[in-house]
Amino acid sequence: MLDRSTLPLLAEALARLDAGFSDLPPFAQQLDAARVREALFALADRLRDNYPYPHPLYAGQMLKPPHPAARLAYALAMFLNPNNHALDGGRATSRLEREAVAELAAMVGFSTHLGHLTSGGTIANLEALWVAGRLAPGRVVLASQMAHYTHERISSVLGLPFESIAVDALGRMDVRALAARVERGDVGCVVATLGTTSLGAVDPLHEMLPIARAHGVRVHADAAYGGYFTLVDELAPEARAAFAKTQEVDSFVVDPHKHGLQPYGCGCVVFRDPSVGRLYRHESPYTYFTSDELHLGEISLECSRPGAAAAALWATHRVLPPVRGGEFAGSLASSRRAALALVERLRRSGDFLVPIEPELDIVVYAPRASSARAISALSRRVFDEAARRDLHLALVTLPTAMLGAGVEADAETTTCLRSCLMKPEHEAYLDEITARLVAAIAATRG
């Protein structure tokens, strides 16, 4: 399951890197090889206590294996262990980060930008809301009821009021409810979620922008999960219309460690207006004197950050550029096709109901039963039965109203099954996934 064929490439690249420092006096790091070997073997044994995240039969949470280029580039950079807080600590990787982030900004459609990598989407969103709060102190942050829970937490950390806006039957922000709330005049920022982590729902950004702009409200796109789908044309018209407007948002977050084939943690925040960099300004009396260039520590809230993450993303972009019509965009389109094909197979089987059409590559479905409680119980049993067949799913709790009129609402919420078909291999693995699902539900009913 785990690729080892690329390891010789790492040895070759390491020799090439080492040659760049050949003018230095010889130096050998002290190493007790036997103890290191013992520790690594013990670690390998411990790591076997995991789900098979890289395998296509893992179709539960958002866990996508890094591209070999990303793994190798990260490992290569780790021999130097650069720190992208400043040019002094990560001279080459700081430049690599700027180049990689510029490519993500271009993907979004920004003609100008300021941005950097972060440890993940939570910190990236925190920075976007921190800037929004600095520009409109004390004003309300709005996000949909299906937005990631961290927006409320982040707002609390920043001392900003937070409110949730109702969603429609498809899990997208209700624009009429948004308009009514913005009309009250105390809103500073609206968060549009372009791919919710529960359903993969895409908020109607194209309808939200005019509402926000009419009242001078900042718009932030949380596309940590779904951002790369801006490269995909094969989306439903509403989702396509939303992604077509990303170039108009004030800030944008995407997680390369989700769909971008990167190791954890690698998030990215990009601002359309570079002048927000003034809000980050600070002075360090002791650290950075080798360059007059702007260093990344001056435009980020995080200080020490791994240069290896920038190296991995940059290298992956060399292999798979994030451009429309390219190989990388094609792999995303494959994930989308896999989601639609799985829905068709589930409905054909007659054993499952699919309450919401997938907008990206997350599929939410449930065993057929007459009531919310019965569906919840069956979902948990199918989840366990599928795992016994090495098919790993996820569970999600939805308002029962989303399941439609045919389900008795004997509970306010219903537990359903959820699959993220994020891997390039998932489309080819649908027969195997469907067969194991059908066997799992047959076992629960038998």
List pLDDT tens digits, range 290-304.
455 556 877 889 989
List pLDDT tens digits, range 80-131.
999 998 888 899 999 999 999 999 999 999 999 999 999 999 999 999 999 9
Question: Residue 42 pLDDT > 50, yes or no?
Answer: yes
List pLDDT tens digits, range 205-247.
999 999 999 999 999 999 999 999 999 999 999 999 999 999 9
The helix-helix angle for 430-445 and 372-388 (nearest 10°) equals 120
Q: What percent of the chain has pLDDT over 70?
A: 97
Going by C-alpha positions, the residue among 369, 345, 351, 373 that lies closest to residue 442 is: 351
267: three-class secondary structure by DSSP: strand
Residue 149 to residue 31: CA distance in whole angstroms: 45
Structural domains for the chain: 91-319 (3.40.640.10), 327-445 (3.90.1150.10)
pLDDT of 26: 87
* pTM, entire model: 0.95
Contact 142, 178 (CB under 8 A): yes
List pLDDT tens digits, range 308-347.
999 999 999 999 999 999 999 999 999 999 999 999 999 9
pLDDT of 286: 46
**DSSP per residue over 68-132, as a string?**
HHHHHHHHHHHTT--BTTSTTT-HHHHHHHHHHHHHHHHHHT-SS-EEEEESSHHHHHHHHHHHH
Ramachandran angles phi, psi of 429, nearest 5°: -100, 10
pLDDT of 361: 97
Contact 86, 295 (CB under 8 A): yes
pLDDT of 262: 98
Contact 117, 267 (CB under 8 A): yes
